[in-house]
Structure 1
Amino acid sequence: MLMKQHSYAFYNGYLSSLYKQRELLLARIKELERISPISSPSATEPPVSDIHTAHLAKVPSARERRQSLPAENILDAEKIVAAIDSGEPLDQEQVRVFEEVLKWEVDALSDELRGKSTEPGREYPNNLTLRNHYEYIVLPTVVYELQYPRSGSINWYYAAEKAAACFGIIFVMIMISQAFIYPVVMDTVRMKEEGVPLAGRFRQFPWMLLDLIFPFMMEYLLTWYLIWETILNFLAELTYFADRGFYGAWWNCVSWDQFARDWNRPVHNFLLRHVYHSSISAMKVDKHTATLITFFLSACVHELIMWCIFKKLRGYLLFLQMCQLPLVRLSRTKWLRNRATLGNVIFWLGIFTGPSILCSLYLIL
């Protein structure tokens, strides 16, 4: 819910700034229409020769505005607004070029305000309604858009299948926990109650790890299936949400950066937009620093979850998650690059051992 609210506020705040900018440019275009140009060349800055006009032949689009246009185009619009506000005389050529540039900029801003909406009336600020907000709250996504792909009807048999699978998987997970994980946990509780020193408890660490590897692997896979295959698809079906790309084939991953992208697409999209790209644009950092910030924030949130579960702040999960960064660099070396099978084997070794090592550390210490 925190991610949803942040995405909703952040994106609408961004669109609000574009909307105000567009209103400003529309007002300046009206002022240009009322200006009586002088016949002689004007000395008012900027001269027409300094204005970039090559892009005016292209149809403005949000994608082109964000990624392709040089910064000079934005500066040109600011210079033109300053020239109009100055009240200095403008010649005929300046009025014509200024108007063309501002109209192109207004069209580009209007395109951004439409976002991904394809229906009229859904662009900003028409989206700012209680209905739109609470419709977004129940959708299985944490990245806000003005419009999402929607299905035409509900397949109730599919929804019932996912609901039944959800409760069935929870039952299986409870059985695995009670039969294979709970006895190990109670052993560690007994050792602490009997005053077994830390060295004595650590001597049991290898056996505890072996006892927990397979149960935790089962719980890990079932938890993933429970959330990303049953719960999210059930919600998507009930809300007519047609984008079912909640995960990729992460079990075929050959590196940890690929796993980070594929195993949880909704959260990956959130981190990509609101942490990675926001770090680059707001903090002016390079891509490597933005990646470090993204991984670190994600690790901190996961560590907070472990703190809530175990009532202990240890940093084990944070450390293991940050270890993914050197492993990513290792996967790009000449020894592992283009060796997909070996990369996948290393990935599965990490998946097998990581959860059990993590839980064993929390139980022992």
Structure 2
Amino acid sequence: MGDSGAVRPAALRRRATFSAIRSQTLQSSSVGSTEAFRDAVTASSSRELNKLNGSHTTLSRSKHEKRKRGNDHSGRLSCHQQQESLLSSSSSFSNYRGILNWCVIMLVLSNARLFLENLLKYGILVDPIQVLALFVKDPYSWPAGCLVIVSNVFILAALYTERQLSKGSLSEHVGLLVHSFNLSIILSFPAVVVLLVPSVTPVGGVFALGTYTILLLKLYSYKDVNRWCRELSSIKVKTLSRSYSCPSAQHMTGDDQKVCYPGNLTIRDLYYFVFAPTLCYELNFPRSPKIRMSFLLRRLFEMLFLTQLLVGLTQQWMIPIIQSSMKPLEDMDLSRMMERLLRLAVPNHLLWLMFFYWFFHSSLNFIAELLRFGDRQFYKDWWNSETVTYFWQNWNIPVHKWCLRHFYYPLLGKGFSKMVSQSAVFFLSAFFHEYLVSVPLRMFRLWAFMGMMAQLPLAWLVGRFLRGNYGNAAVWISLIIGQPFAVLMYVHDYYVLQNRQEID
């Protein structure tokens, strides 16, 4: 009994403890289940929200696609927008390659028709023997060639004068007189020979006078550049304690060595300049590294081919038109004269373009490559000229550089205005044009002189009233119409003069 009474309170305490633990466990489990339930409800609600958002996004996307399809349908229904016509000036379109090809094809077809008509009417007129007769009358007499050989005397005279000036044996004033006398003889001597020697043909006279004219411009530049070198040397001597003069050319080795004054006063240096494709002298010309044989052979082939083509077209196309133009010119039939002028304009202009390519591209590049002359800019884009002045500045770069360097800028330095200096340049060019035509033909009509001087008012009119394509068209028209007009005038006057001499 005593033991049972003692055990009962302990059992009761154990039960109470166990019930407390159980109640606490149940309470904790109930709390965990509540939190789990709350998490489950939260997850399910988020899934439902995501589903609702997804369905809403799907609906908005479908509405956007429907709207886009609607816009596509409206774009298909609309086919107009604000834009300019391709041939209008406000359009930015510039690809006219097809039109250019069409012009070339039409030009070839029209000229082919004229050439075929010429063959049917006159037959084959090309005669190489007749070409040789244009240069010499007597196979054993070559007066034009002899004139060219004699020109070496004037070259050596210029070199001797410069050597004496470099040594101080001649004063600057005396040296200027000697150079002036030498240049005057170069200008007048061949003209006198051509006028007085009957065996000189017109073509041979043009060749001899052209050679002497080029030599005149070259030696004038040679004189000026050496004088400038002496002036610079005298300034250095006065301002420096010692003179930095260069050694003579004989002691210089290598192609890259720079020559200074007076080391340039050698026969080799002067004759290199005489044959170089330039009119402006320098002590050190830009040189190419080597001779390109493929380039040289291409230029040689072009020279030979274009020479034959020029001669053949002149005999076959130009001469018959000129001969048929004599009667309208004698009768002063203006309508037929205009028709002959337009007929002559096409072959004359075509031959002029071929001559430009033959001389300024093929021939000058051939000489430059042979001499390793580095400056090959013999012409610029004169075909894009929108003014007459731009044409004369870019179609013959060697002459333009000479005129600027030795004539135009010195006149500006002496106080003359730009207009006066520009007029003087055109006057000088007009003089040499007339010199190269009238003297070989042994008659003076001043057609070439007046044609060159007419470029001044023409340049003012085109520059003042025409712009862009209109100015370029005016330049082309002056080239196409002006040259055959001068050709007809000279041929007519020469024909009349020859017939009068035969009658007399």
Same fold? TM cut 0.5: yes
Deviations 1:80-124 (A, max 9, x none): xxxxxxxxxxxxxxxxxxxxxxxxxx99x99xxxxxxx9665122
Q: Kindly state the Cα deviation for residue 9 of structure 1 after the two structures are TM-superposed.
A: 1.1
Tell me if structure 1 keeps the 8 A contact 2:462–2:474.
no
* Distance in 2, Cα, partners of 1:121 & 1:166: 34
Q: Give the AA of the match of 2:316.
A: A
Aligned residue number for residue 322 of structure 2 = 185
Aligned residue number for residue 220 of structure 1 = 352
* TM superposition score normalised by structure 1: 0.69
Q: Give the AA of the match of 1:364.
A: H
Aligned residue number for residue 208 of structure 1 = 340
| Distance verdict in 2 for CA 1:279–1:10, change over 3 Å | same
Cα RMSD for the two superposed structures: 2.5
**Structure with the higher helix share, 1 or 2:** 2
| Distance verdict in 2 for CA 1:210–1:15, change over 3 Å | same
1:15 maps to which of 211, 229, 241: 229
Deviations 1:143-175 (A, max 9, x none): 011212211111111111101101110111111
Q: Kindly state the Cα deviation for residue 24 of structure 1 after the two structures are TM-superposed.
A: 3.5
Residue 408 of structure 2 is aligned to residue 276 of structure 1: yes
Tell me if structure 2 keeps the 8 A contact 1:143–1:270.
yes
| Distance verdict in 2 for CA 1:308–1:136, change over 3 Å | same
Deviations 1:336-362 (A, max 9, x none): 2xx311111111111111111111122
Tell me if structure 2 keeps the 8 A contact 1:3–1:142.
yes
Alignment of 1:70-219 (within 5 A): 121-187=258-324, 191=327, 198-200=330-332, 204-219=336-351
Deviations 1:299-346 (A, max 9, x none): 11011112134332111122121122122222332x42xx31111111
Task: Tell me the SS of whatever aligns to 2:351.
Answer: helix
Deviations 1:25-70 (A, max 9, x none): 44xx68xxxxxxxxxxxxxxxxxxxxxxxxxxxxxxxxxxxxxxxx
* TM superposition score normalised by structure 2: 0.50
Percent identity, aligned pairs only, is: 28
Q: Kindly state the Cα deviation for residue 252 of structure 1 after the two structures are TM-superposed.
A: 0.8
Residue 487 of structure 2 is aligned to residue 355 of structure 1: no
Q: Give the AA of the match of 2:230.
A: S
* Distance in 2, Cα, partners of 1:134 & 1:225: 26
Q: Kindly state the Cα deviation for residue 185 of structure 1 after the two structures are TM-superposed.
A: 3.2
* Distance in 2, Cα, partners of 1:134 & 1:256: 35
* Distance in 1, Cα, partners of 2:404 & 2:417: 14
Larger radius of gyration: 2
Q: Kindly state the Cα deviation for residue 203 of structure 1 after the two structures are TM-superposed.
A: 6.1
* Distance in 2, Cα, partners of 1:234 & 1:197: 42
1:234 maps to which of 361, 366, 372: 366
Tell me if structure 2 keeps the 8 A contact 1:250–1:262.
yes
2:455 maps to which of 324, 336, 345: 324
Tell me if structure 2 keeps the 8 A contact 1:208–1:360.
no
Aligned residue number for residue 145 of structure 2 = none
* Distance in 2, Cα, partners of 1:232 & 1:262: 16
1:308 maps to which of 417, 430, 439: 439
Tell me if structure 2 keeps the 8 A contact 1:303–1:317.
yes
Question: Any gaps of 5 or more consecutive residues in structure 2?
Answer: 1-214, 247-254, 494-504
Question: Any gaps of 5 or more consecutive residues in structure 1?
Answer: 31-105, 111-117
| Distance verdict in 2 for CA 1:363–1:204, change over 3 Å | farther
1:343 maps to which of 452, 466, 471: 471
* Distance in 1, Cα, partners of 2:329 & 2:284: 59
Q: Give the AA of the match of 1:342.
A: Y
Q: Give the AA of the match of 1:256.
A: V
Q: Kindly state the Cα deviation for residue 242 of structure 1 after the two structures are TM-superposed.
A: 1.5
* Distance in 1, Cα, partners of 2:491 & 2:321: 9
Q: Give the AA of the match of 2:237.
A: E
Q: Give the AA of the match of 2:478.
A: G
Comparing both chains, which one has the higher relative contact order based on Cα–Cα distances under 8 Å and sequence gaps of 6 or more? 1
- Return structure 1 stretches of 4+ with deviation > 6 angstroms: none
Residue 426 of structure 2 is aligned to residue 298 of structure 1: no
Q: Give the AA of the match of 1:161.
A: R
Aligned residue number for residue 44 of structure 1 = none
